[in-house]
Amino acid sequence: MSHFLFLYDDRLDFEFHVASLRELARITDGEVRVYPLVNLKAEPSRVLEGLSGASLPGRLERRPVPFEFLRGAREMLVLDTRA
Structure confidence by residue, pLDDT tens digits, 6-49 = 999 999 999 999 999 999 999 998 999 999 999 999 999 999 99
In-domain check, residue 42:
yes
The total domain count for the chain is: 1
Residue 31 to residue 4: CA distance in whole angstroms: 18
Q: Average of pLDDT values for 52-77?
A: 94
In-domain check, residue 1:
no
In-domain check, residue 73:
yes
Backbone angles phi, psi at 11, to 5 degrees: -115, -30
In-domain check, residue 9:
no
Using pLDDT thresholds of 50, 70 and 90, give the confidence band for residue 64. very high
3-state secondary structure of 74: coil
Residue 18 to residue 40: CA distance in whole angstroms: 19
Residue 77 to residue 68: CA distance in whole angstroms: 14
**Residue 56: which domain range?**
14-80
In-domain check, residue 6:
no
